[in-house]
């Protein structure tokens, strides 16, 4: 698990990270079996997080198109209580959102005490797609790395644990997944011709991701680069990381009300 973590001030070179890699502990069959065990444990920890009420967990998912954000959410969080877990999706900003600073719409979606919130895309779009498509001048998006670090530090200082995942797929794997969307009638609704325009800018996106990962992985909000060509391994690493993160929070059930030991129910 820690092998995928980007330590502060590390320089990330995505071309040197194999998106097909696994760590050799499991094959597909045993990995899926272990994922089932992790999902049960994650559900237990999520209930404990809710009951404890002292902590919050923010999970950030970023990837190229078809990178597996939706599948990761579906497969990893399948067993949790939906009352304590929420997914926030960030698409192109509305006119109202554009009238505010770029973090305005993000802050209101962050988790409350006892909650897990999953960002499907996030504030990082403002140093990724905004950079690649030239939507703001370079001097503006370059300032945003410091803004983001300060924003995440504020959340951490107020009790939010932050874990960020970049789901790393290859350009060839993306092509296979795009073709699958076109060929499968149940997936055609997910395909947008505009996705191909972004695909043409693959190298520019890789450079933008490398800068973001290198500039914003901190002890209080670490990035994990997860090899994601193999979906079972992607899900396994994300689940393992979340379980380990929650287990490290010293969660506990609140003390019972005084006098409960004398209650007799008739």
Q: Does residue 88 register a pLDDT over 70?
A: yes
Q: Does residue 1 register a pLDDT over 80?
A: no
- pLDDT (mean) for 22-35: 96
Q: Which of 36-50, 225-239, 246-260 is least confident?
A: 246-260
Distance CA 65, CA 169 (A): 10
Residue 174 counted as domain residue: no
Pairing of strands 5-6, 223-227: antiparallel
Higher-confidence residue of 155 and 266: namely 155
Residue 175 counted as domain residue: no
pLDDT score for 257: 82
Q: Does residue 125 register a pLDDT over 80?
A: yes
Q: Does residue 244 register a pLDDT over 80?
A: yes
pLDDT score for 66: 95
Under the banding of pLDDT at 50, 70 and 90, the label for residue 219 is very high
- pLDDT (mean) for 45-61: 97
Residue 191 counted as domain residue: no
Task: Express each pLDDT in 64-78 by its tens digit.
Answer: 999 999 999 999 999
pLDDT score for 255: 86
Residue 176 counted as domain residue: no
Residue 234 counted as domain residue: yes
**How many domains is the chain built from?**
1
The residue with tokens 């980007």 is 6
Mean of the per-residue pLDDT values of the chain: 95
Distance CA 128, CA 195 (A): 15
Residue 256 counted as domain residue: no
Domain that holds residue 6: 2-168+205-251
- pLDDT (mean) for 116-128: 97
Q: Reduce the secondary structure of 56-78 to three states and give it as a string.
A: EEEEEEEECCCCCHHHHHHHHCC
- pLDDT (mean) for 182-202: 91
- DSSP-derived secondary structure for the chain: -GGGEE-TTPPP-GGGS-TT---SS--HHHHHHHHHHHHHHHHHHHHHHHHH-S-EEEEEEEESTTSSHHHHHHHHSTTS-TTSEEEEE--SPPHHHHTS-TTHHHHTTSPPTT-EEEEES-GGGGGTHHHHTT-S-HHHHHHHHHHHHHHHHHHHHTTEEEEEEEEE--HHHHHHHHHHHHH-TTTGGG--THHHHHHTTHHHHHHHHHHHHHHH-BTTB-EEEEE-SSHHHHHHHHHHHHHHHHHTT---PPPPPTTGGG----
Distance CA 77, CA 137 (A): 38
Under the banding of pLDDT at 50, 70 and 90, the label for residue 261 is confident
pLDDT score for 147: 98
Residue 120 counted as domain residue: yes
Pairing of strands 223-227, 56-63: unpaired
Distance CA 222, CA 131 (A): 22
pLDDT score for 8: 94
Long-range CB pairs of 106-111, under 8 A, 24+ apart, other chains included: 106/151, 107/151, 110/56, 110/58, 110/155, 110/160, 111/56, 111/57, 111/58, 111/86, 111/160
Distance CA 209, CA 242 (A): 22
Residue 181 counted as domain residue: no
pTM of the full structure: 0.95
- pLDDT (mean) for 92-100: 94
In a 13 Å sphere around the CA of 97, the CA atoms on its Cβ side amount to 14
Q: Quick count: other Cβ atoms within 10 Å of Cβ 93?
A: 15
End-to-end CA distance of the chain: 51
Q: Residue 113: give its domain's CATH number.
A: 3.40.50.300
Task: Express each pLDDT in 153-172 by its tens digit.
Answer: 999 999 999 999 999 999 99
Under the banding of pLDDT at 50, 70 and 90, the label for residue 262 is confident
pLDDT score for 259: 84
Confirm if 34 and 26 have CB atoms less than 8 A apart.
yes
């Amino acid at each position: 698990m820690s092998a995928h973590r980007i330590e502060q001030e590390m320089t990330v070179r995505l071309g040197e990270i194999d998106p097909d890699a696994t760590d050799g502990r499991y094959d597909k069959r045993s990995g899926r079996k272990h994922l089932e065990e992790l999902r049960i444990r994650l559900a237990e920890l999520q209930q404990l997080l809710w009951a404890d009420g002292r902590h919050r967990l923010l999970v950030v998912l970023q990837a190229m198109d078809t990178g597996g954000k939706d599948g990761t959410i579906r497969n990893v969080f399948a067993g949790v209580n939906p009352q304590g877990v929420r997914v926030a999706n960030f698409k192109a900003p509305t006119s109202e959102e554009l009238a505010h600073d770029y973090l305005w719409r993000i802050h209101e979606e962050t988790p409350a005490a006892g909650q897990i919130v999953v960002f499907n895309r996030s504030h990082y779009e403002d140093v990724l797609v905004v950079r690649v498509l030239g939507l703001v001048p370079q001097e503006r998006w370059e300032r945003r790395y410091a803004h983001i670090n300060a924003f995440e530090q504020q959340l951490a200082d107020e009790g939010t644990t932050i874990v960020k995942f970049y789901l790393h797929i290859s350009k060839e794997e993306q092509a296979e997944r795009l073709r699958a969307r076109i060929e499968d009638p149940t997936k055609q609704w997910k395909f947008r011709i505009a996705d191909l325009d972004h695909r043409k800018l693959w190298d520019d996106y890789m450079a933008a991701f490398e800068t973001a990962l290198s500039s914003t992985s901190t002890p209080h909000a670490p990035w994990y680069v997860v090899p994601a060509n193999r979906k079972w391994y992607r899900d396994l690493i994300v689940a393992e990381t979340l379980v380990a993160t929650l287990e490290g929070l010293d969660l506990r059930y609140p003390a019972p009300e005084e006098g409960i030991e004398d209650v007799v129910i008739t």
